[in-house]
Amino acid sequence: MSFNSEARNCRVLANPNKLVELKIAGRYRMIPVWATELSFEVRPGQKFDARAWKYWKPVLLLLNEVAKKEKLKINWVRVHSHFGHKGDVPHAMGWWDHEINAMFLCHFDKETMLHEVGHALSSGYHGDPWAKQASRLYLKYLKGKEQKDAMIQLAHYLSGRRVYKTLYGEKAPRAPEIQSLWKGLDPG
């Protein structure tokens, strides 16, 4: 290794948020160093706004940890940005593709990501197996208010209400309606 490339590596190590150019799914994209060090490939959506990386960082670092602990093989994860979007984002907050072992994330919260990991570890869409996995993941990987809110979100699904009742011995409170996290979000 030459002196120059060593020096370059040192600089990269010093700033994990630095953007580097990388060929992803056949196209050159700019992604932060930390996103190149995960067990899965991170694929920013078309027209991804680099200011969104800071919102994705904690979610993708946790996903990396979860994939390792749950022995889940993920090929790649698509992430979105929708700064300045008017009205509702016209697609799901996240989904999991069982055939290609890939995750799509629009909502940059840990709950959405764990909801999708729940799908990856179960089958039958939002049935009981999914609700059991999702609640187990929320209890294991979330804390405090984040955990409580996620458990309440389970009440959107009949399966989730059953799991909640079993765990807490009482009916789940009504889950608040979900708003897109991108609505009115300041890119900072």
**Is residue 110 close enough to count as binding Zn ion by CB under 5 A?**
no
Kindly tell me the burial class for residue 186, based on how many C-beta atoms sit within 10 Å of its own C-beta (0-12, 13-18, 19 or more).
exposed
Q: Closest Cα partner for 33 from 15, 49, 51?
A: 15
Q: Pick from 31, 38, 102, 106: which binds Zn ion (CB under 5 A)?
A: 106
- Please say which residue, 14 or 155, places its beta carbon nearer to Zn ion: 155
Phi, psi values for residue 79, rounded to 5°: -120, 150
Near Zn ion in 41-60, by CB under 5 A: none
Cβ-closest residue to Zn ion? 106
**Is residue 80 close enough to count as binding Zn ion by CB under 5 A?**
yes
Q: Using the rule CB under 5 A, give the single segment among 21-29, 62-70, 86-94, 157-165 that binds Zn ion.
A: 86-94
SS3 content of the chain, % helix, strand, coil (to 5): 45, 15, 40
Neighbours of 21 (CB within 10 A): 9
- Please say which residue, 80 or 132, places its beta carbon nearer to Zn ion: 80
**Is residue 78 close enough to count as binding Zn ion by CB under 5 A?**
no
> Which residues of this protein are in contact with Zn ion, per CB under 5 A?
80, 89, 106
